[in-house]
A and B are shown apart, each in its own frame.
Chain A
């Protein structure tokens, strides 16, 4: 149980293009999904928190117009990196949790490695 998938696992794009990353909870309904960014040999940095049907809450310093998050259903959230630039190259990881006591642990997806040329 508690399986989270991400697609794609790797993406290479040209500078200026937009890239969409999907995060799905496969066997549970995710009340909340989180998006993280991880640089090499570093810890996870929370970018935003999204609840189904609501606008995402972004962490300080994260550009919401740059990183568009949509959480249209209880099993799917998407992160769109708009007008990507080389500095956006990173490992993006999502997690999902449900609003049930003792089951509200964050379960993580396998991550998406984005390379912007």
Chain B
């Protein structure tokens, strides 16, 4: 069965620090999809990234970067030079299929607090 583990529950950093959010997944499928979502205090889940299992290239988007390593079943998320607006709950998720009906398995989420 698929599983997503976000071992860190709460992280607190001071503004401008770099922070890495860990995500470890379990799946028996060779094709799967990984996601990160951000949930700010307002409640809406904001899609950040989707990564296919056959694409191990790391991705950078502004201050955000993602490190996908199949060898360790990890898909870690790094925020560089964190800002107060980055304060939110971050969820990592896994899907074992593609298509509109694909269900997501979520981790428990990591609460990130960025202090001024």
A contact set with B: CB distance below 8 Å? 2, 30-32, 34, 41-44, 46, 49, 51, 91, 93, 95, 97-99, 101, 104-111, 113
Residues of A within 8 A of B35 (CB): 105
Q: A-contacting residues of B (Cβ < 8 Å)?
A: 35, 37, 42-47, 50, 91, 98-104, 106-109, 111
With A101-B98, A110-B44 given, can you name 9 additional A-B contacts, CB distance below 8 Å? A42-B109, A44-B45, A91-B43, A95-B45, A97-B100, A104-B98, A105-B35, A107-B47, A108-B44
B101 touches A110 (CB 8 A): no
CB proximity of A15 to chain B, nearest CB, Å: 24
Contact A109 B101 (CB under 8 A): no
User: For the complex, what is the distance from the CA of A51 to the CA of B101, rounded to whole Å?
Assistant: 8
Give me 15 A-to-B residue pairs in the complex whose CB atoms sit less than 8 angstroms apart, sorted by A's number: A31-B100, A32-B100, A34-B103, A41-B111, A42-B108, A43-B109, A44-B106, A51-B100, A93-B44, A97-B100, A104-B98, A104-B102, A105-B35, A105-B47, A110-B44
Return the 5 tightest CB-CB contacts between A and B, nearest first.
A108-B45, A31-B100, A99-B100, A32-B100, A110-B44
Partner among B101, B107, B108, B109 whose Cβ is within 8 Å of the Cβ of A49: B101
B contact residues around A91 at 8 Å (CB): 43
Query: How many whole Å from B61's CB to the nearest CB in chain A?
Result: 15
Q: Is the CB of B109 within 8 A of A98?
A: no
- Interface contact A106-B104, CB-CB below 8 Å: yes
The answer on a CB contact under 8 Å between A98 and B43 is: no
